[in-house]
Structure 1
Amino acid sequence: GELAAFITAARTEYAIEDAPLIAVGFSNGANIALATALLHPGAVDRVVAFSGMYPFGDREPEISAAGVELLLLNGDQDPMAPAASVARLEEFASARGASVTRRRRSGGHGIDQGELAAAQEWLAGLK
């Protein structure tokens, strides 16, 4: 909540309330961006998540994620962001109205050139 409040205040301070804001994160940074977008879509509603996963542990917050756009980029063998947790995130966000694009690759925790290209393509397609 504090991060969302900071983002909202900064957007107001710098008169960029209507400018698009896209959070990009890797690993825990991705999880923070995902949680912020899903819980506070007014602060940030677009996320490129490299090696992120379901950020709410055992909780399932009652939220609406309508208007949220997520790009999930993960390795199928990632021990830090297991495929089952990413699938749970995809299902959770989609069921609450988010637009979710998921790209899977072989391998583990990290970012590869194909994911960078996928992120560029996804970003280019945003309105």
Structure 2
Amino acid sequence: MKHIFEKGKNSSKTTLLLLHGTGGNELDLLPLAGKIDEDASVLSVRGNVSENGMPRFFRRLAEGIFDEEDLIFRTKELYEFLDEAAVKYSFDRKNIVAIGYSNGANIAASMMFHYDDALKAAVLHHPMVPRRGIGLPDLSGSHVFIGAGTNDPICPAEESEELKSILGNAGAEVHLHWENMGHQLSFKEVDAAAKWYKQNI
């Protein structure tokens, strides 16, 4: 997978996994990494799927309707890529914190839905519920920040609450943060995520 890796300061064992939204790339979320943890290593990945020329992490059938078969395949693909990258760049595979926006947040959530050891924690900006009707692994010890907009036309409030409930029932510690916004990512939301990270990770 096309990506950027930046080694962090020796004192930090954390690697931030950056996952962009639809139409973005591996450069988009780099400014967020410094705000969340300026000492951490950074692994920023570009989605392998193209939708009318726009990079994504998995296919969708329509707005808000995921291609579930492709989602499962791409989730496994990203999970295995993290295994390989940890060896290649010599970072701690058990200390990865994902920061995802929209489509990137969805693939991060999907990894947590499928693997108990995929992520130590996740900052999910405007995610949806990736899959329904499946049992989740034991996520005890995991921490999740969900950033949501009260007027988000893509991720209704009920969707954010449902995702919080599903992850919480699997054992994760989940914080749901609201902004009076739509689907866009605001500075206030990033600041809230940074504050949460410093208190929990």
Match for residue 89 of structure 1 among 156, 163, 166? 163
Q: Residue 124 in 1 paired to residue 198 in 2?
A: yes
Q: Residue 4 in 1 paired to residue 92 in 2?
A: no
Deviation at residue 28 of structure 1 after TM alignment: 0.9
Match for residue 124 of structure 2 among 49, 53, 57? 49
Gapped runs of 5+ residues in structure 2? 1-75
| Amino acid corresponding to residue 46 of structure 1 in structure 2 | A
Deviation string, structure 1 residues 63-101 (Cα, Å, up to 9, x no partner) = 211122110000012111111111111111101100101
State the partner residue of 2:88.
13
- Indicate the percent of aligned positions where both proteins have the same amino acid: 27
More strand by share: 2
Larger Rg: 2
d(CA) in 1 for partners of 2:153, 2:99:
21
Q: Once structures 1 and 2 are overlaid, which stretch shifts more, 96-105 or 14-23? A: 14-23
Match for residue 185 of structure 2 among 92, 100, 111? 111
Instruction: Provide the aligned C-alpha RMSD in A.
Output: 1.7
d(CA) in 1 for partners of 2:107, 2:94:
21
Gapped runs of 5+ residues in structure 1? none
| Amino acid corresponding to residue 138 of structure 2 in structure 1 | S
Q: Is the 8 A contact 2:116 2:137 kept in 1?
A: no
User: CA 1:83/1:51 → structure 2, altered by over 3 Å: closer, same or farther?
Assistant: same
Deviation at residue 18 of structure 1 after TM alignment: 5.4
Q: State the TM-score, normalizing by the size of structure 1.
A: 0.88
More helix by share: 1
Deviation at residue 12 of structure 1 after TM alignment: 2.3
Q: State the TM-score, normalizing by the size of structure 2.
A: 0.58
State the partner residue of 1:98.
172
Q: Is the 8 A contact 1:38 1:68 kept in 2?
A: no
Residue 43 of structure 1 aligns to a residue whose secondary structure is coil
d(CA) in 1 for partners of 2:84, 2:122:
19
d(CA) in 1 for partners of 2:142, 2:136:
15
| Amino acid corresponding to residue 35 of structure 1 in structure 2 | S
Corresponding residue pairs, total: 126
